[in-house]
Amino acid sequence: MSTAKRGSAGRPPISERTLHRRREFGERLRRVREHAGLEPAEVARYVDVRPDHLRQMEEGMRPIPAEWVPELARILGVTSAHLLGEQRSVLETAA
């Protein structure tokens, strides 16, 4: 049995690993955004996307373009490495 999810609009299926990574990034984005005291609509305005699209990105339902990572990091006051999970989070160590 395949571990891939069905794609939409003629796109290839998405693997479970990709979905997991997308969800992890989205969760990290949400935590950092909340820690920065920003609402989804505020961040969405900065990257010129609808707030519901940003929420879908935070939920792992929509991919986040790689070229947005540096701008999102700047807006949220963290490094790109932090947002990508390459650095241990201050939020995680405080828990």
Cα radius of gyration rounded to whole Å, the chain: 14
Distance between terminal CA atoms of the chain?
38
pLDDT digits (tens, 9 = 90+) for 17-68: 989 999 999 999 999 999 999 999 999 999 999 999 999 999 999 998 999 9
Cβ atoms of residues 60 and 22 within 8 Å: yes
CATH architecture for the domain at 16-86: Orthogonal Bundle (1.10)
Q: Which amino acid is at 73?
A: A
Cα torsion at 43, 47, 52, 53 (round to 10°)? Answer: -130
> Where are the domains positioned within the chain?
16-86
pTM over 0.85: no
Angle at which helices 16-35 and 51-58 cross, to 10°: 120
